[in-house]
Amino acid sequence: MKAPDFAYCRPASIDAVCALLAEHRDDARILAGGQSLMATLNLRLSAPALLVDINRIDALRGIHLAGDGNYLRIGALARHAEVARSPLVALHAPLITAAMRHVAHPAIRNRGTTCGSLALADPSAEMPACAIALDATLVLQSQSGTRGVPARDFFFGLYETARRDDELLIEVRVPCQPADQRVGFDELSRRHGDFAMVGVAVTARGTPDRMTDLRLVVFGTDTMPIDCRDAAALADRQAWSPALGEAIASAAAASLDPDTNMFGGPAVKRRQAAALIRRVLTATFTSREAWHG
Amino acid sequence: MDKRADIVVVVNGLARQLNVPVRRNLVDMLRHDLGLTGAHVGCEHGVCGACNVRVDGVVVRGCLMLAVQADGATVDTIEGLTATGEIAALQSAFVERNALQCGYCTPGMLMTGAELLSQQTCPSRAVIRDAISGNYCRCTGYQAIVDAIETTALARKDGIPS
């Protein structure tokens, strides 16, 4: 099918975007990479009156080290492909680099934006889970000013976020990872690049003999990424062992609330999640690479 | 905020001025307004890759970008890549290895294959499969397509000009 009728504009500044959003509210949609929006238009699942194309706003471009080197700023127009090959991201947020190879396909990554994926909040998308695991902050701007929302407070449910109709997600701020941090990421999909049936993002600090700050975020099973805090707390100050991995995986899987869909029912998805969590934790804690620090 | 827009696009090296409906996608503009029917329209929601074209040097889905967004951009289609000879070796390999059956997916496969080979000198078969995972072949000729891309990479590695 073809996209329905809509009006289109290409403002030159963030202020102009905010003015348009204030005026049109939910009748307007932001067009950045368009890799989900254009598909929903072509499928007639969405019929906004106005598309606000932000692609010409230079202030939204790029990936920079900011805050005296404390965090990475990934602008709203940074494409997935740009993030995937960024040396800054590889150095300071390697979880995102690891996750990027699972984000759709090359042609989609060339155009789709990382912030767009966050703003859309698809439950099977990789970036929302990474943002939560990394304690990222999403920066929203409107005519009334700018505010930062921690990723853990940003996602509410199926495509539901803390963004108001009049706000533009201008950037995501990702804290630079500590020297002793390890990361793990993997997902199950029927074909590489397809939407995840279940995915797992992990960060941890310490040593294999004494782990601290385990973060375990599971996505693709529920309506939003699930931060499995109680399960992750089992690792606190513990030494890595397969039995501990099993206990964490079981506890995390039990905390999920999967829906039934074409990939199966809740029992199937919990088993898949537990298996994947075990696999990712094992890879994260037993890989040959020396621990940092 | 008109429903139509004047745009200037450099298509296959030639500057084109057009007035397009803003809801028209890029691949429809290429096919309907410019008669460049090499890029195909398949699923129209970004899954199949038949509409892949190059915009400002990178391969994108022609169905997931509006024509108006190409204003000021450089667009290369399979016709342009063929005319310049840029992908001649890859195209020959597709013929030799029987990697095109009905041919519907072929322009998109060539776009994807050419971009991979421009980024990696000699990708493994696993990497090739990964790269073309976003392109559907309804004849399921994937094995031959991987063969053709691998053949081109190996020939280049051995110093045969591509």
Can you give the residue ranges of every domain in chain B? 4-81, 85-158
Chain A: nearest CA to B131, how far in angstroms? 6
A203-238 burial string, b = 16+ CB within 10 Å, else e?
bbbbbeeebeebbbbbbbbbbbbbbbeebbebbeeb
B18-42 burial string, b = 16+ CB within 10 Å, else e?
bebbbbbbbbbbbbebbebebbbbb
Q: What is the CATH number of domain B85-158?
A: 1.10.150.120
> What residues of chain B lie within 8 A of the CB of A43, using their CB?
44-45
Per-residue tokens: A38: 């254009």
pLDDT reading at B1 higher than 80: no
Burial class (CB in 10 A: 0-12, 13-18, 19+), A57: buried
* Cβ–Cβ under 8 Å, residues A6 and A49: yes
Chain A: nearest CA to B3, how far in angstroms? 5
* Cβ–Cβ under 8 Å, residues B63 and B54: no
Say what the ipTM of the complex is.
0.95
User: pLDDT grade, residue A52 (50/70/90)?
Assistant: very high
Q: CB–CB of A8 and B1 under 8 A?
A: yes
| Average pLDDT of chain A to the nearest whole number | 95
Chain B: nearest CA to A142, how far in angstroms? 21
pLDDT reading at B55 higher than 90: yes
Task: Note the pLDDT tens digit of each residue in A261-290.
Answer: 888 899 999 999 999 999 999 999 887 554
Q: CB–CB of B65 and A111 under 8 A?
A: yes
- How far separated are the first and last CA of chain A, in Å rounded? 54
> Distance between CA atoms of A130 and A225, rounded to whole angstroms?
9
Task: Note the pLDDT tens digit of each residue in A103-160.
Answer: 999 999 999 999 999 999 999 999 999 999 999 999 999 999 999 999 999 999 999 9
**Which fold does the domain A181-285 belong to in CATH?**
Enolase-like; domain 1 (3.30.390)
pLDDT reading at B47 higher than 70: yes
What is the share, in percent, of chain A residues with pLDDT greater than 90? Answer: 89
- CATH number 3.30.465.10 given to A58-175: yes
- In the chain, the amino acid numbered A1 is M
> What is the CATH architecture assignment of A7-53?
2-Layer Sandwich (3.30)
- Name every residue in B having a CB less than 8 A away from some CB of A: 1-3, 5, 22-23, 25, 28, 44-46, 49, 52, 58-61, 63-66, 68-69, 111-112, 115-116, 129-131, 133-135
Please state which CATH class domain B4-81 belongs to. alpha beta
In the prediction, which pLDDT does A262 show? 84
Q: Does A5 touch chain B (CB under 8 A)?
A: yes
Query: Nearest residue on chain B to A20, judged by CA atoms?
Result: B1
> Distance between CA atoms of B64 and B134, rounded to whole angstroms?
14
